[in-house]
Structure 1
């Protein structure tokens, strides 16, 4: 046998078998290999091979390479217990596949929520004759060289020491049949005996020492199997095999994935995603699957099909982009992504390997989705939803089917399993009352679009929401993530009155020209978070008093080279001009291990969230920092400079030294995003001109919950008392040096968080432009003394939902 190179069948992080949370794989009972913690949704062939088996649960596949090696690819741990949910095989046993060809599509979000782990072992089965040499480490893409299999000298001989052949039948009692885990344990049990054992089922048979052979028998629960054993210890081996197969308790009870933290209160509990209140009937949206032709014609035929479909979709996107607004913006972005040659070239390459146009397009999308998800950054990863949108549009064009936006009756609450960004953008915000999702995440692109459109939205309600019938009148409290499914006429009337009152107050705040103040006259600066000239124009119309966060990474990403100092200066000046004489806080470049720019020589990191990112990247590239600071200082209007991800005083001092070297006199502040910065705020305040708290990162670092991980993202709530205590510590430390504190994270736009933030000492709020008027109206109804009392009480509460309930009661008492 010749050497075999095994290519990565998934995109994700390479993980040693020893770290897989299952002894069968970790102890190499099935064979040697490697595992990948996936970030995409497709398992592809790791080499040219024949498919031996596809498990009926859809979670595992066995292959024989063209060189005769047998491999096992097993998606996740204990995924057999899912019964095929979230797993869709793309091939059948007996199929010949090429390296990179799709084998199993899976719903990664579903697996993360319902399986103990999604780490996927790739095993060279029964590898006693082979040496396995690892090639890859860190992050891999589909098709990257993963490991090399090398034949060893010598040949193993199955030793049998004579004796009669014993035969017995039994029925398989294993709850999920003989899948990978029990097969490996059965092999281990038989190896302890000096015996040759063969299992027969139907017209197939396999040695009990071959895990792949055993999997190929397809022994499900209740199957009858004949066992033949010979050799000196045949009787003992036969008895062990029968005992094993008849033991229904062999498989451990699967470990359940942690349940996301949901709202506390009557009715259905979900997770807040976009603030607001809605009342109306349920209108359920279902998303039909698009048929994909898997049988390929000639390469020329499939290429023509794909190019025609791409042209039709591109034309439709260009037309939709002219509509302007949120929908136009999303469609324009989709058009730009569709024009990226990376997608079409990858699909055409896959067609050249013999795939159909539809399967090739799916593969190309899956590879790009994997790259985006692997960034570890929510803002970049959210673009994966846009790619999935494009996938559906092109597949529909290939199938000759139309793709239309959701049609929702006026005043209805849209209920769906999940929503893609284009589906949200296509909604009429003046007509739809709100959105409630069975799944979804609070930081998704769909949620951000909903917030920008003023649509109340809550997510992650689970099966209870799925069970509610169409047409039922409900009240959606998206501020708390609650649904009242049994609201009577009086409750519905009260909700409508509250909605009307809030709308009137927001209009009044938008029209008011004076500065933002609390009810007792305390000055609170009302700023907006910006990323473009268009954002600045909207913010001014909504009454923003300035920019509390200008995200500058929009200039640095999605390009082949870094922007020049002149390019940066031109764009910063344009935004400053749109703001007029209003102040502008410019955040220094916030990229790094989790937000890679292709032209930066940054390492692939095992844990990018804790690696080279934020101000650390700029300090590691002095010229980049010099150019950006120089560009900011060249803006005619005075700007403030803010350093992201600061954890120590030395980092702030290094930034201030660059500002001084450039001859500027700009104020220099710190973005408080790490617990270290919050706890040492009194030290940082000695040299910082201002603080701005980034509650999104501060929350995930404090709670040790990755907001991009679907299994825990729903629990990432900035109103958790631990986060509030760090915000309080920041304000206390700042007060010792009279350093002002703002909040530019999502809590600033959360009406249930605002009273607590003001009570803790925050004096500036920076929110998305569309939320300026609403938050300004809310601040005008708050008394600072009452906010301080509410904040002190919140710090002693046990959970974020408890804090939300506490503030809800307070706002109800003051009629806000």
Structure 2
């Protein structure tokens, strides 16, 4: 509802609980680096337009849409966190760039279960990306349903400031316990600053008899607030109470993204005396060789004094603005690549660059007669010393971020080019690198990095892992005494820097490196060719999809067919069922996208925990054991009849295969077969599509032989089969990790299914998640599976895995695996017999 002053009410694009950005488990969104907005933890699986507008961007991977509202506000609607990693698997975009959409129009659909299991979180965002012109004011922080009022968008007035209201209102205060891992270091402090700047009130933290403004990251870090420490927060101004609530929430909500918590376990290096080898801590794995190149920091010239104060102030301001633009560009590039770690790190750097503690100290030094480079260097060095003396190892590592800013600003002040004279393929040796230095070295193509100091939780370590750049830290002063130019081997996996490798060792390392690169290239080039084992058994590698768009991706990735088309995407989040023509069109689009390859289409699998608005069903205490799949189709036969008629009208019908879910006995299958024959007769068809059974209930696996007597094929859904066999809900937070489809009991059911199918000459496929696990590929082949349906991006990898296996050997070993005692034992045996990589 826009009006003359560009106000706009946004409606909820999803149904579910509402969260402030500060409570979103992702530092980039929570810090406001992407813009202001709101979040919803969704309960439905369709994203709707929150207002009228134009689609200005659709994410390639289908997880996000950006709209331009009629008042000019640009709105990013982002489904889930880290969902870009799914590469579109589970998402169906319903609009195109440039399209005009209306309030409440469906924008994208997604497979709720599939995406929830594979992404970091389903929490979804509505962000104003041009927030410099607009302000977002939440209408509600309670649960919402699609279409209910959610956000009030107001355009900002020029030169908007909060200074004029600082003395208005009351002062309020509160206490809270710090939840952030490692205490209030750079990124949490930057988040607190971002939260405070969203209000007109002035806010302060008080701890240990000292205080710091929430506007200063350095000031807050200097308080040395540890994890679980209790701090006092005070706010004064017209919106003090709201500011206090927001700050208390921010301080008490741990960041799920705090990447140092996910750092690999630092291996304790073998420090047994070994000539020509330095031992360190691995922060990013890899094995590389190359010439050792020493990298030194900037050395300042002597300060002669006698400077013009205003001139030096201008020099510093110019340099700071220059570096700020550079960091902003780095941040934008990180956003474009969806690199969350880089975004969080450089958002914190921007906050530090504006920190009043650093700026005031530098300007004071200039006032005292120092040149701008020396004033800036002194200010940074003083704060680094403060952090290192706090007795907190994590805060001491954060001093490296300040050192990074020192180096960048000094390069501008001293006129040095922002580029290292380091050749591609070199292994860099230095005391300690900064994040921006590491990004520069990575862009220049260095092979690896070694540091005398540093730690496994540093930002440099995080970035090195993200870049796939082998990295060792804590190698000691001996590293800096090494002669440059010598050929070395960096074995980061083993925590070793080999200073005097033999010619044979160098050749070996190069061969390993070349083999890995060639394997990746081979997987890509051979993705469109059949996958046969070394003894000639062909395994069909198909793809699981939920739309024609995903089918197109599967075809491009070399899939031999569609092993599972989930048709639920057509039925959910709408007020009426799709008619026969809409269904036929959707199914035909998938067949067309796959060329001459077969497509297996599963009939509607809803009910129980997947409710339809137009199909009211009674609530069930245990929905996964209730009215769902084929049971629902029997209760409401008109739904299935309409779907079967649509499927029978696809062409060519020989490429369309129909899969029935949740079958537990032969009579269920026979009933649907008879119904399919009757509908085909009504349409005047002589040809019939193949009709298969989905084996996802233990009863179906145990009756596989009887089912195979009638069915054309069997397809095992290991996700449901696992939870039904193990009596563990795969969505249960405490049990999900134990729902492992390589459990011997599951393998016995798969084996029995294959044996039963073979007696009647039927083939067996696997369309559950187990098919996408390369470790399971030899086991499934050994048990008799002949089709694997995986996510589209994995087709080349699984085909390559198949080509390296001997089916006869797989058969002998897999039989023995059935007698093991646990899934862990099976996995260990698989690693031993068929190692990955």
Give the TM-score band, short-chain normalised.
0.3 to 0.5
Structure-1-length-normalised TM-score: 0.47
Greater relative contact order (CA < 8 Å, ≥ 6 in sequence): 1
Structure-2-length-normalised TM-score: 0.46
